[in-house]
Amino acid sequence: GAGVSQSPSNKVTEKGKDVELRCDPISGHTALYWYRQSLGQGLEFLIYFQGNSAPDKSGLPSDRFSAERTGGSVSTLTIQRTQQEDSAVYLCASSWTGTNTDTQYFGPGTRLTVL
């Protein structure tokens, strides 16, 4: 079956512009994660959605970052007024139940470059 997809695969933007990154999780997965992967760093947790529960936004680095998940499926991560330090690969993952014993299935990521 289809895996997790993300779009765009690459995004180059100018400092100060807004960007939207999209994630399509595996159908039926109730949990969805966004991570940021910077060069030489591990995965940095950004936000977690589980069903209809309030998302855990504790990992969002600033109020320029926001995310939503519509209809329990597709998610969009928005970065407003992008800064050069926002340059990274943004990964989305989904899982059946969202517990940390559950396998997370990752998309290929969106590479964001802020000039």
Q: Does residue 71 touch another protein according to CB under 8 A?
A: no
The reply on whether position 4 binds another protein by CB under 8 A is: yes
Q: Rg for the chain (alpha carbons), in Å?
A: 13
What would the x/- binding string for another protein be over residues 43 to 62, using CB under 8 A?
A: x-x--x-x-----x------
- CA 61, CA 109: separation in Å to the nearest integer? 18
CB 97 → another protein: shortest distance, Å? 9
**Angle 18-23-25 from CA coordinates, rounded to 5°:** 165
Distance between terminal CA atoms of the chain?
Answer: 37
Q: Which is nearer to another protein, 72 or 80 (CB)?
A: 72
- Stretch of 13-21, 38-46, 65-73, 80-88 contacting another protein, by CB under 8 A: 38-46
Cβ nearer to another protein, comparing 50 with 82: 50
Rounded CA-CA distance 70/51 in Å is 10
Q: Does 27 bind another protein (CB under 8 A)?
A: no
Closest CA to 89 of 65, 112, 66, 60: 112
Residues forming contacts to another protein in the complex (CB under 8 A) are: 3-4, 31, 40-43, 45, 48, 50, 56, 91, 93, 98-101, 103-109
